[in-house]
Amino acid sequence: MGRLAQVADEQSSDKCKTFVFMGEGYTLGNSLVAVISQNPDVEFCACFINHPAEGNIYLRIQAKEGNAIDVLRRGLEEFEKICDHTLESFDEAYKTARSSGV
């Protein structure tokens, strides 16, 4: 089984879905909420944990337009770009600091 699954419930539709990220916590969940909520096609996005011992984060997405799976995919792609930029910026700053003797 993968680390991401869709939760089946009676309130689910193409526009509204809950996803579970196994083995993750609020660090990933809150970051994804921040990125996904900036999408103008998103009506609602939130994360929650059923129980701390479970070790999973649930992400609920409700789209105004399109479907929730596409919204999640786009959010993950945007988050990956942010992470890549952060790593590149850190590496560059580290190299600059090392070369200046700091």
Number of Cβ atoms within 10 Å of the Cβ of 34: 13
Number of Cβ atoms within 10 Å of the Cβ of 59: 24
pTM of the predicted model, to two decimals? 0.85
- Do 41 and 65 contact (CB within 8 A), yes or no? yes
Show the tokens assigned to 9. 């419930």
* Tokens 């994804």 belong to residue: 32
pLDDT tens readout for residues 42-51: 999 999 998 8
83/79 Cα distance (integer angstroms): 6
pLDDT tens readout for residues 56-69: 999 999 999 899 99
pLDDT of 1 higher than 60? no
The predicted structure's pLDDT at residue 2:
62
Q: Which amino acid is at 35?
A: V
